[in-house]
Homo-oligomer: A and B are copies of this chain.
Amino acid sequence: MVNFIEGGVCAAQGFQAAGIHVGVKASSSPDKKDLALIVSDVECAAAAVYTSNVVKAAPVHVDMAHLADGKARAIIANSGNANTCAPGGEENAERMCAAAARAVGCRAEDVAVSSTGVIGQPIRIDVIEAGVPALYAALSHSSEGSDAAARAIMTTDTVKKEVALETTIGGKTVRMGGIAKGSGMIHPNMGTMLCFLTTDCAISPAMIKTALLETARVSFNRISVDGDTSTNDTCIVLANGMAGNQFIAAKGPDYDAFLEALQTLCVELARKMASDGEGAKHLITCHVQGAASEKSAEIIAKSVISSTLTKAAIFGTDANWGRVLCAMGYSGETFDPDKVDVHFASAAGDIAVCEQGRGLPFDEDLAKKILTEHDVEINITMGEGDGSCTCWGCDITYDYIQINGDYRT
């Protein structure tokens, strides 16, 4: 039903995007893009989820106001400066929206804004305002537009994160796509990154919001890079209705199809973010089944992927399943450790390392081979009930320390 396609945020009808270098990032290298714009040809229904951090970036406050009416036309975003705890933060965020609105020809209130980068330093609003006309001129309906925008929101990301898919809703082809930036400061919590999603589906703001909340719960909120929840995390969806499907204003089969597509899209983006965690060499997928409930399975799986010791063991391709059990044990959930089985798996094989809470003799060479793959799985079976959940994380490496030991310079 759902097929992955090319095009990112430009895959859906009527969306353009661009990304250029204007000078927010210190480097003057032209490939250090730092300003992105996404524009719909027509007004969109819009919804967003934001960081749960008490310290919220200025753009988050502005978006909460601008998107309160469930409508938007465009998103402007910069990398290089988070515009958080910085003098004149909200005023500068508003000025970014106003500059975009002047170029697009819409109200400033119909523009959303995001920033990512260093905290506490004044954002160079002058170079942003000066750069917006060139940014607008660079807009493209083609996949190049999405590609440029995806690159312009990268900070320590090593690869751009871009996904698109198409599905059928009420007999019509509906497309949706997204770009995201992740890397550091990522931990399960509402909206844990910058993520911009576009779709040509015809759907009400209320139903998008419902679908987005349900989707964030099973995608972005189930990844962790380092346990830190950023001040700027934002996920925004724009839906312009150009697919011509019957307007979705309530739950039903069409909503279900939309939700399935949105979840597929966001799980893929979430996996890409975990996989490209700062310095990461491994994507770690933790499946828990047989837990007392889905919630319990989620808490346990999150505890495993968030455990610094487990992350270090995977970095060292060390099948140290004791750390997995330990992380389950301090998750806050109660369970019988004597009913826990643990397997490590990857494309190189599957190996049982713990049965009924006790270590099994196992082939260390095979275990090492399994854990040497980029994508590794920690598969846990409990004897508590039928709750299951999958969470994603990454290993912790020397590079993570290096990247974060001197981030500001």
Contact = CB atoms under 8 A, between A and B. Distances in A.
A184 interface: yes
Given A54-B335, A54-B337, A85-B322, A120 B316 contact: no
Contact of A408 (B229, B315, B318): B318
Given A55-B325, A329-B55, A408-B320, A185 B121 contact: no
A318 B405 contact: yes
Contacts of A320: 119, 407-408
A406 interface: yes
Given A54-B337, A228-B330, A407-B313, A322 B120 contact: yes
A118 interface: yes
B318 A407 contact: yes
A185 B326 contact: yes
Nearest to A308: B226
A398 B316 CA distance: 13
A327 B358 contact: no
Contacts of A405: 312-313, 315-316, 318
Nearest to A359: B120
Contacts of A312: 400-401, 403-405
Nearest to A309: B228
A313 B404 contact: yes
A354 interface: yes
Interface in A317-345: 318, 320-323, 325-331, 333-335, 337
Nearest to A319: B408
Contacts of A55: 325-326, 328-329, 337, 357
A325 B55 CA distance: 7
Interface of A: 52-56, 82, 84-87, 118-121, 184-185, 187, 189, 226-231, 306-309, 312-313, 315-316, 318, 320-323, 325-331, 333-335, 337, 354, 357-359, 396-398, 400-409
